[in-house]
Structure 1
Amino acid sequence: MNQAQVDHEVELLKKYIKQLGSKNSNGQWSVKYGVLFNDDEVGNVFEALMGTLKSAKRKKIIQYEGELLLQRVHDNVDIILLQE
Protein backbone atom coordinates (compact mmCIF):
# COMPACT_ATOMS: atom_id res chain seq x y z
CA MET A 1 0.00 0.00 0.00
CA ASN A 2 1.42 3.41 -0.90
CA GLN A 3 1.60 6.45 1.38
CA ALA A 4 -1.42 8.17 -0.21
CA GLN A 5 -3.56 5.09 0.47
CA VAL A 6 -2.32 4.89 4.06
CA ASP A 7 -3.08 8.60 4.60
CA HIS A 8 -6.55 8.12 3.11
CA GLU A 9 -7.27 5.17 5.41
CA VAL A 10 -6.06 7.14 8.44
CA GLU A 11 -8.49 9.95 7.51
CA LEU A 12 -11.31 7.40 7.25
CA LEU A 13 -10.30 5.95 10.61
CA LYS A 14 -10.60 9.40 12.20
CA LYS A 15 -14.09 9.75 10.70
CA TYR A 16 -15.22 6.39 12.10
CA ILE A 17 -13.79 7.09 15.56
CA LYS A 18 -15.92 10.25 15.69
CA GLN A 19 -18.95 8.50 14.18
CA LEU A 20 -18.90 5.46 16.49
CA GLY A 21 -17.28 6.94 19.59
CA SER A 22 -17.89 9.76 22.00
CA LYS A 23 -15.84 12.43 23.73
CA ASN A 24 -14.04 11.32 26.87
CA SER A 25 -13.46 13.35 30.05
CA ASN A 26 -10.49 15.08 28.36
CA GLY A 27 -12.64 16.18 25.42
CA GLN A 28 -10.96 13.69 23.06
CA TRP A 29 -12.87 11.36 20.77
CA SER A 30 -12.66 7.77 21.97
CA VAL A 31 -14.10 4.46 20.76
CA LYS A 32 -13.78 0.90 22.07
CA TYR A 33 -11.83 -1.42 19.77
CA GLY A 34 -14.71 -3.92 19.79
CA VAL A 35 -17.18 -1.27 18.59
CA LEU A 36 -14.84 -0.28 15.77
CA PHE A 37 -13.92 -3.85 14.82
CA ASN A 38 -17.51 -5.12 14.81
CA ASP A 39 -18.98 -2.27 12.74
CA ASP A 40 -20.07 -3.60 9.33
CA GLU A 41 -19.14 -0.43 7.47
CA VAL A 42 -15.67 -0.35 9.04
CA GLY A 43 -15.22 -4.01 8.13
CA ASN A 44 -16.06 -3.26 4.51
CA VAL A 45 -13.83 -0.18 4.25
CA PHE A 46 -10.59 -1.38 5.86
CA GLU A 47 -8.67 -4.25 4.33
CA ALA A 48 -6.44 -4.46 7.42
CA LEU A 49 -7.86 -2.45 10.33
CA MET A 50 -4.94 -3.35 12.62
CA GLY A 51 -2.43 -2.09 10.03
CA THR A 52 -4.27 1.23 9.79
CA LEU A 53 -4.43 1.51 13.59
CA LYS A 54 -0.70 0.83 13.92
CA SER A 55 0.09 3.36 11.21
CA ALA A 56 -2.07 6.04 12.87
CA LYS A 57 -0.52 5.24 16.27
CA ARG A 58 3.00 5.58 14.83
CA LYS A 59 2.04 9.03 13.52
CA LYS A 60 0.63 9.93 16.96
CA ILE A 61 -2.86 10.47 15.51
CA ILE A 62 -4.38 7.92 17.88
CA GLN A 63 -3.33 6.13 21.03
CA TYR A 64 -4.25 2.83 22.64
CA GLU A 65 -2.70 0.52 25.20
CA GLY A 66 -0.48 -2.26 23.88
CA GLU A 67 0.93 -3.06 20.46
CA LEU A 68 -1.57 -5.44 18.94
CA LEU A 69 -5.33 -5.46 19.46
CA LEU A 70 -7.19 -8.73 19.06
CA GLN A 71 -10.90 -9.24 18.59
CA ARG A 72 -12.73 -10.22 21.80
CA VAL A 73 -9.54 -10.09 23.92
CA HIS A 74 -9.18 -6.31 23.52
CA ASP A 75 -12.79 -5.28 22.79
CA ASN A 76 -12.79 -2.87 25.75
CA VAL A 77 -9.55 -1.09 24.86
CA ASP A 78 -10.08 2.62 24.18
CA ILE A 79 -8.78 4.01 20.91
CA ILE A 80 -8.31 7.74 21.50
CA LEU A 81 -8.09 10.30 18.73
CA LEU A 82 -5.21 12.70 19.46
CA GLN A 83 -5.43 14.73 16.24
CA GLU A 84 -8.65 15.73 14.55
Structure 2
Amino acid sequence: MNVEHEVTLLVDEIRRLGSTNADGKISVKFGVLFNDDQCANLFEALVGTLKAAKRKKVIAFEGELLLQGVHDNVDVILLQD
Protein backbone atom coordinates (compact mmCIF):
# COMPACT_ATOMS: atom_id res chain seq x y z
CA MET A 1 0.00 0.00 0.00
CA ASN A 2 1.15 3.51 -0.84
CA VAL A 3 2.22 5.59 2.20
CA GLU A 4 0.72 8.78 0.75
CA HIS A 5 -2.61 7.02 0.32
CA GLU A 6 -2.49 5.63 3.89
CA VAL A 7 -1.76 9.11 5.28
CA THR A 8 -4.75 10.50 3.33
CA LEU A 9 -6.97 7.76 4.78
CA LEU A 10 -5.65 8.56 8.25
CA VAL A 11 -6.54 12.25 7.83
CA ASP A 12 -10.09 11.22 6.84
CA GLU A 13 -10.40 8.98 9.90
CA ILE A 14 -9.10 11.69 12.26
CA ARG A 15 -11.72 14.06 10.81
CA ARG A 16 -14.45 11.42 11.24
CA LEU A 17 -13.57 10.49 14.83
CA GLY A 18 -12.07 13.72 16.13
CA SER A 19 -13.38 17.02 17.37
CA THR A 20 -12.12 20.58 17.25
CA ASN A 21 -9.83 21.45 20.18
CA ALA A 22 -9.21 24.84 21.84
CA ASP A 23 -6.66 25.76 19.13
CA GLY A 24 -9.21 25.18 16.37
CA LYS A 25 -7.45 22.01 15.18
CA ILE A 26 -9.08 18.60 14.92
CA SER A 27 -7.78 16.06 17.43
CA VAL A 28 -8.63 12.53 18.50
CA LYS A 29 -7.32 10.30 21.28
CA PHE A 30 -5.02 7.50 20.11
CA GLY A 31 -7.18 4.94 21.94
CA VAL A 32 -10.24 6.03 19.95
CA LEU A 33 -8.36 5.60 16.67
CA PHE A 34 -6.82 2.29 17.72
CA ASN A 35 -10.09 0.76 18.93
CA ASP A 36 -12.27 1.90 16.02
CA ASP A 37 -13.42 -1.03 13.86
CA GLN A 38 -13.22 0.92 10.60
CA CYS A 39 -9.63 1.99 11.36
CA ALA A 40 -8.71 -1.57 12.27
CA ASN A 41 -9.94 -2.72 8.86
CA LEU A 42 -8.25 0.14 6.97
CA PHE A 43 -4.79 0.14 8.52
CA GLU A 44 -2.60 -2.93 8.73
CA ALA A 45 -0.04 -0.95 10.76
CA LEU A 46 -1.74 2.07 12.33
CA VAL A 47 1.32 2.98 14.40
CA GLY A 48 3.52 2.99 11.29
CA THR A 49 1.03 5.16 9.42
CA LEU A 50 0.94 7.59 12.38
CA LYS A 51 4.75 7.81 12.40
CA ALA A 52 4.84 8.45 8.63
CA ALA A 53 2.18 11.17 8.92
CA LYS A 54 4.07 12.80 11.81
CA ARG A 55 7.30 12.78 9.77
CA LYS A 56 5.42 14.54 6.95
CA LYS A 57 4.11 17.10 9.50
CA VAL A 58 0.49 16.18 8.74
CA ILE A 59 -0.23 15.27 12.37
CA ALA A 60 1.38 15.84 15.76
CA PHE A 61 1.46 13.82 18.98
CA GLU A 62 3.70 13.66 22.03
CA GLY A 63 6.55 11.18 21.96
CA GLU A 64 8.03 9.08 19.21
CA LEU A 65 5.79 6.03 19.29
CA LEU A 66 2.24 5.36 20.48
CA LEU A 67 1.42 2.04 22.10
CA GLN A 68 -2.08 0.72 22.69
CA GLY A 69 -3.08 0.87 26.34
CA VAL A 70 -0.17 3.00 27.53
CA HIS A 71 -0.88 5.95 25.22
CA ASP A 72 -4.67 5.68 24.78
CA ASN A 73 -5.20 9.23 26.14
CA VAL A 74 -2.57 10.91 23.92
CA ASP A 75 -4.05 13.44 21.49
CA VAL A 76 -3.35 12.96 17.78
CA ILE A 77 -3.71 16.45 16.28
CA LEU A 78 -4.37 17.16 12.61
CA LEU A 79 -2.05 19.97 11.47
CA GLN A 80 -3.24 20.33 7.86
CA ASP A 81 -6.71 20.63 6.35
| TM-score w.r.t. length of structure 2 | 0.97
Consecutive unaligned residues of structure 1, counting only runs of 5 or more, are: none
> Which residue matches 1:35?
32
Q: Pick from 44, 53, 64: which aligns with 2:41?
A: 44
> Which residue matches 1:8?
5
Q: Pick from 19, 22, 25: which aligns with 2:22?
A: 25
For residue 58 of structure 1, what is the amino acid of its counterpart?
Answer: R
SS in 2 for 1:69: coil
Kindly report structure 1 stretches of 4+ aligned residues shifted beyond 6 Å: none
Q: CA offset at residue 69 of structure 1? A: 0.5
Is 1:82 the counterpart of 2:57 in the alignment? no
Distance in 1, matches of 2:72 and 2:43, equals 18
Distance in 2, matches of 1:13 and 1:74, equals 18
Q: CA offset at residue 61 of structure 1? A: 0.3
Consecutive unaligned residues of structure 2, counting only runs of 5 or more, are: none
Total equivalences in the alignment: 81
> Which residue matches 2:58?
61
CA deviations on 1:3-23 (whole Å, 9 max, x unpaired) are xx1000000000000100100
